[in-house]
Structure 1
């Protein structure tokens, strides 16, 4: 009987790792994507999303946070299945079927249009003012797997896309002219291009198409949904007392 109980316990830990850790804190599934959040070689975490969440939950609310890295598509699958408590992302109707969130975004990410250097239609691309213009002009957009914003605003309109499983690879694909455009957040794009070694092959058009509000989203079945109202008050306090500005400034970001 003890042996059977032990086997059942091991299976439960493997299938529901987030639930097993629930007594010890909130477990967040996240993709390694600097400067938002990333685990360095020494195991330490960094990134401004990481610092904002840690300041609010660990330091101010008193909830320990455990970070679990995995590809973004899997993050969503694991949280949807209830195997981890939470993720940091943009609320969508589909995500809100299995998660709860707070009222105010803790960061608004502007989505800007990029193309490759030497694009024969560069002057025409610079006239784009909306996503529908991209469709009308017949351009192809490069993205990464699990990009909810892309699925909602680009794929849903039937705009052709190329997709990669790793976020930073979008810049290699664009530089290789596998598509015409990438729509991304400039500070993250700059770092992604540097990592891919293609900075001199990409052009930032300066055209902002959309803004993405980021939230902490917690699975409906997690006991930590109870902290969401307090989390909302805390992030607003952090904005008011200068903490947000200090955290973002350390990463060269001047607005939130």
Structure 2
């Protein structure tokens, strides 16, 4: 019965995919972008999901992000944090307003062009059955062993890789013991190899212990240096060094500034930040 339920759920996802509407042709959109600096502008963005057009998720979002800034997006569950990132990546199209990168509206760029501007590290890690090398390199070409060693050392993965029987050529399968933290570090190393001009980190440290989180934070500092980065985090202590913190509630930005400014203001951000320590105690 369990196997039948699993097969039924899998079949439903397959049929949903087959029946989903095809994306519109984008042959008229630009597939090239000059050297990306990383200036990002959100202007009066409004969005609701196609299947629930009357339920507005993002109401009137506006923000200016300068090249190289580390931007943290915080707020309670359902505030619209991940939705904003999905809109930035053109996973969905906005109802009105505009999102621009270096002055060019992303609606004028092909999805592939937009996607290639970003490296992503998500809460849910994804690895496939293949060698460590294949999981790190993925679809990139010309990656040397020296580059692999460098990013693994930066992420604190070098010791783990060297303990594997075949090193980078070890096949990751159920027989290879690998922790949730090591899986996350592998996805971070992959992002470092990609070396895209912009970065999205969505709850990247949520599934690791405190010691591994510190290791990841150091790797993140190296990864985000000189890159425009968007960080979504529930642990507000991990984004204290952000250049800009956007505080969202009910689809709107209600506060913005750095950690010190927002704490001194004593508003919603300060309430969120202090509540985490109240819960911990």
What is the TM-score of this pair, normalised by structure 2?
Answer: 0.26
What is the TM-score of this pair, normalised by structure 1?
Answer: 0.28
